[in-house]
Chains A and B, each alone.
Chain A
Amino acid sequence: MADAMKIRAKLQGDMADVKVLMFHPMETGLRKDPVTGDVIPLHFIQRVVATHNGKTVMDAQWSQAVSKNPFINFHIRGAKPGDKVAVNWEDNKGEKASIETTLS
């Protein structure tokens, strides 16, 4: 998926301010299809891992109660230009996506 997520990282001194937007329905399994009336099955991102130069800095587990098209913002310490920041996610159906950016 080319547009499964967006990442923006800004260096502020030696801290990287990272903002990530993921495009995902985050279905709660409680919603019904307005046309057919069928329950829309659970479909949500369960796992989000952020790395800094390949080293895990954040390992998150999510429920279906994170908003649709999830947004996260976090700060990495000890960052410098040229460093790579990557974010990976995996949902309850085993779908995966990842994105990487280089700090400048």
Chain B
Amino acid sequence: MRTQLQSKNMGTPLATKESPPKKPTRRNFLRTLVFASAYTATFVAAWLRPIQLLAAEWNKVAFDAKVLADAVKSIGGTSAIESDQILLKAPEIAENGAIVPVEITSKIPGTQTIYIVADKNPQPLVAIFDIAAGLEPFIATRIKMGESSKVRVLVKAAGKFYVATQEVKVTIGGCGG
């Protein structure tokens, strides 16, 4: 801070002036107390948060992301590897963007999570499916697409991300109306 100030206000005596040392007045003591308790509160909040998250909260950050890169980044899939072991079935032309059937089969061993993303939707992330033991890594559902774009499926398996895409041409968008 000091060096920045000096370089910005070259020649002015501003940076060289020392503020007088604080006297141990009641006001100063109270001010310190308030700051200290605020500090502690922040730490306690940060410490409590992971415990709440264990209940697998709805991923607001990822779902609120407005552009593809942010959505993919917030689920941790930026470095996803293209894989032909993800079978993605979606129509090449969807007449109605409000109902686009999507079928996903992952042949990647240890598939934990399947993410469905519509690249150009107002919020690209559509759904997250956590696959527990006992479920085949297969999901079929129907999604809305605002305009023609790629449908992107990310698969998280053994901590790594894989991706498959398919272009879907939408004749009538399905988000507004």
Binding site for B on A (CB under 8 A): 15, 26, 28, 30-32, 46-47, 50, 52, 55-68, 70-78
Using A15-B136, A57-B134, A72-B141 as known contacts, say yes or no to A63 and B127 having CB atoms under 8 A apart: yes
Tell whether, in the assembled complex, residue A62 and residue B177 are in contact, meaning their CB atoms are under 8 Å apart.
Answer: no
Instruction: Report the count of interface residues on B (CB-CB < 8 A).
Output: 36
Tell whether, in the assembled complex, residue B130 and residue A58 are in contact, meaning their CB atoms are under 8 Å apart.
Answer: yes
Tell whether, in the assembled complex, residue A66 and residue B126 are in contact, meaning their CB atoms are under 8 Å apart.
Answer: yes
Report if B29 contacts A (CB, 8 A).
Answer: no
Using A66-B144, A67-B142 as known contacts, say yes or no to A60 and B127 having CB atoms under 8 A apart: yes
Tell whether, in the assembled complex, residue B132 and residue A57 are in contact, meaning their CB atoms are under 8 Å apart.
Answer: yes
Chain A residues near B98 (CB-CB < 8 A):
67-68
Q: In chain A, what residue has the closest Cβ to B176?
A: A30
- Using A65-B143, A67-B143 as known contacts, list a sample of 4 further A-B pairs with CB atoms less than 8 Å apart, ordered by residue number in A: A71-B142, A75-B136, A77-B134, A77-B135
Chain A residues near B126 (CB-CB < 8 A):
62-63, 65-66
Tell whether, in the assembled complex, residue A47 and residue B132 are in contact, meaning their CB atoms are under 8 Å apart.
Answer: no
Interface centre among A61, A64, A75, A78 (most CB of B within 10 A): A61
Q: CB-defined interface of B100-121 with A at 8 Å, one 1/0 digit per residue?
A: 1001000000000000001001
Binding site for A on B (CB under 8 A): 56, 58-59, 63, 98-100, 103, 118, 121-123, 125-136, 138-145, 174-177
Using A52-B134, A78-B134 as known contacts, say yes or no to A65 and B175 having CB atoms under 8 A apart: yes
Shortest distance in angstroms between B66's beta carbon and chain A's nearest beta carbon?
12
Q: In chain A, what residue has the closest Cβ to B125?
A: A63
Tell whether, in the assembled complex, residue B139 and residue A73 are in contact, meaning their CB atoms are under 8 Å apart.
Answer: yes
Chain B residues near A46 (CB-CB < 8 A):
58
One of A55, A65, A72, A73 near B123 (C-beta < 8 A): A65
One of A47, A58, A70 near B131 (C-beta < 8 A): A58
Shortest distance in angstroms between B155's beta carbon and chain A's nearest beta carbon?
14
Tell whether, in the assembled complex, residue B140 and residue A65 are in contact, meaning their CB atoms are under 8 Å apart.
Answer: no
